[in-house]
Amino acid sequence: MATQQYKAWSVVIASTLAFTVCFMIWMMFAVIGIPIKETLGLNETQFGILIATPVLTGSLIRLPLGMWTDRFGGRIVFFILMLSTIIPIYLISKCTEYWQFLVTGLFVGVAGGSFTVGIAYCARWFPKSQQGLAMGIFGAGNTGAAVTKLVAPLIVVGFGWAMVPQVYAVMMLITAVLFWFFTFSDPAHKVGKTITIGEQLAVLKDPKVWKYSQYYSIVFGGYVALALWMTKYYIGEYGFDLKTAALMAAAFSIPGGILRAVGGYYSDKFGAHTVTWWVLWVSLVCLFFLSYPQTQVSITTVKGPQTFHIGLDATMFTIIMFTMGIAFAIGKASVFKYIADEYPHNIGVISGVVGMAGGLGGFFLPIMFGALLDLTGVRSSAFMLMFGIIWVSLIWMYWTEVRPVKISRHHERQAAKKDVSI
């Protein structure tokens, strides 16, 4: 008979594999959306809506999925979720009209809800001291965004974009079967049947939940948005072909997934607040440089006009994106460490709320990127927008987490001085 430790690690490994495949499918339009855009003649805003549509469903469904995970268990919910997406994935290959892609994209987006199910399912198999690591390992399934950028362009070039959803549909079916045979259930992980839906939803009144949602809308929502947007960004900004652009974009997606486990380890060691605080600062610095548009400056000198070019070349741009990908990966784990520490008995619901906020960030941001590009004609306006969002988050964190600690320590020092004087 399998030991509890064996079951725990088997669950994590199988769930991580399943989440990786789900994330590959969730990010599929980041690659196939480019030839579809050319075929349908879409503008930048329409393209943003196209690639973000699956993210909308995957975001909105996270709260009910979290509640069902708490109630029925992660194994059965995850399995049914995967099965429900197979036919919609295949139907994408048969679409010819813009509205058809949007409708099928909504159904395929259910795959994105797998995160909320898996994060709660995996966490409950481990003690509190290891939950950050377990959730970080599972979250490494975000690497599916990078896998899609490596695999899908090869399929598109060799067989056409329609072959991608057909291959992915078969892949999802195989993954669902493997998941079922290598995972386990534990009745002790379910919430009591006496807990009502209203009691589960009471967490929505907690302001800390909304604060963590804001953090996650950056480190995960921003990750999803940029993972969807970067292939096209490289094509437009630096003139790369589809394969090269997708490969370069993977430099952001790969660390954004793989290093999430590292974020879980450091969150266990140093605490969720410390790690998240530095993640946001590193991201802010990266976005400061990414925000600066390609600029030609002409200066009148004694020798006549001198023109200088200011802007990031493809190499420096990729290095900064790689750095930010690392920060986002660590931040995704540290935000969920907050949840595991403060809400151990209803991780499913809380992760559903926070995950929904992160997913909605991944939905709205690509649309806003496209709208800003149509409005301003400046591609780096996407990074300007994210810079402002992170700045607001840092202010929020300072006033709610950093400053109260400073005040508390000040009062403690004052009290200690009084004791000494007495």
The pLDDT value recorded for residue 358 is: 85
- Burial of 238 per CB tally in 10 Å (0-12, 13-18, 19+): middle
pLDDT over 80 at 412, yes or no = no
The pLDDT value recorded for residue 163 is: 95
Nearest 5°: CA angle at 293, between 288 and 295? Answer: 125
pLDDT over 70 at 198, yes or no = no
pLDDT over 60 at 422, yes or no = no
Residue 313 belongs to what H/E stretch? none
CA distance 15 to 62: 16
Q: Is residue 362 within 8 Å of residue 218, measured between CB atoms?
A: no
The pLDDT value recorded for residue 286 is: 96
Rounded to 10 deg, the angle between the 221-238 and 242-258 helix axes is: 160
- Burial of 302 per CB tally in 10 Å (0-12, 13-18, 19+): exposed
The pLDDT value recorded for residue 404 is: 74
CA distance 204 to 88: 32
Residues contacting residue 171 through CB under 8 Å, at least 6 positions apart: 21, 24
Domain regions of the chain by residue span:
4-415
The pLDDT value recorded for residue 380 is: 92
- Return the minimum-mean-pLDDT range out of 120-134, 207-221, 224-238, 380-394: 120-134
Q: Is residue 20 within 8 Å of residue 143, measured between CB atoms?
A: yes
pLDDT digits (tens, 9 = 90+) for 311-363: 889 999 999 999 999 999 899 888 878 887 777 766 667 777 887 888 888 88
The pLDDT value recorded for residue 131 is: 77
pLDDT over 80 at 174, yes or no = yes
The pLDDT value recorded for residue 85 is: 94
pLDDT digits (tens, 9 = 90+) for 83-102: 999 999 999 999 999 999 99
Model confidence band, residue 193 (pLDDT cutoffs 50, 70, 90): low
> What is the token pair recorded at 334?
């540290």
> What is the token pair recorded at 183?
């995972």
Q: 59, 202, 179, 198: which is closest to 122 by C-alpha?
A: 179
Q: If you search the block for the tokens 């974020």, which residue do you land on?
A: 263
Write down how long the chain is: 422
Model confidence band, residue 387 (pLDDT cutoffs 50, 70, 90): very high
**What is the CB-side half-sphere exposure of residue 126 using CA atoms within 13 A?**
25
Model confidence band, residue 13 (pLDDT cutoffs 50, 70, 90): very high
Model confidence band, residue 410 (pLDDT cutoffs 50, 70, 90): low
What CATH number should be reported for the domain whose range is 4-415?
1.20.1250.20
pLDDT over 70 at 209, yes or no = yes
pLDDT over 70 at 12, yes or no = yes
pLDDT over 70 at 51, yes or no = yes
- Return the minimum-mean-pLDDT range out of 171-180, 191-200, 388-397, 404-413: 191-200
Residue 309 belongs to what H/E stretch? strand 304-310
CA distance 34 to 259: 28
pLDDT over 70 at 61, yes or no = yes
3-class secondary-structure state, position 124: coil
Residues contacting residue 284 through CB under 8 Å, at least 6 positions apart: 387, 390, 391, 394
Average per-residue pLDDT for the chain: 85
